[in-house]
Homo-oligomer: A and B are copies of this chain.
Amino acid sequence: MNDQAAKILPELNRLRGSIDNIDAALIYILAERFKCTKQVGKLKAEFNLPPTDLERESEQVARLRNLAETAQIDPVFAEKFLNFIIKEVIQHHKAAAG
């Protein structure tokens, strides 16, 4: 890091502190989400419902894309994000069913 860049270190560290706080929040909220989807998985396994529900998923995608626009983030990213999480959840459901 050059002398010029060293000048921005306090600002960089301030922002990184916020990012770390936000990441902790994301992890804890994700943990709560997995608690919900685990319950859904148990119900589905118990009543022999398929782990995947395409209608529900497309509703979720549409909802998240709208939310992303309100929050001013890329709707395409929001959709990729949801798919990333759903992929993990489906794995949990399959494990619970199997």
Residues of A participating in the B interface, judged by any CB pair closer than 8 Å: 1-2, 4-5, 7-8, 11-12, 15-16, 18-20, 22-34, 36-37, 39-40, 43, 46-49, 56, 60, 63-64, 67-68, 71-73, 77-78, 81-82, 84, 88
Residues of B contacting A7 with CB < 8 Å? 47
Partner of A8, one of B23, B28, B47, B72: B47
Partner of A37, one of B19, B32, B36: B19
Q: In the complex, what's the smallest C-beta–C-beta distance from A68 to chain B, in angstroms?
A: 6
* A27–B49 alpha-carbon span in the complex (Å): 28
Q: Which residues of B contact A19 (CB under 8 A)?
A: 33, 36-37, 40
- Asked if A22 contacts B47 (CB within 8 A), the reply is no
Contact between chains at B12 and A43 (CB < 8 Å): yes
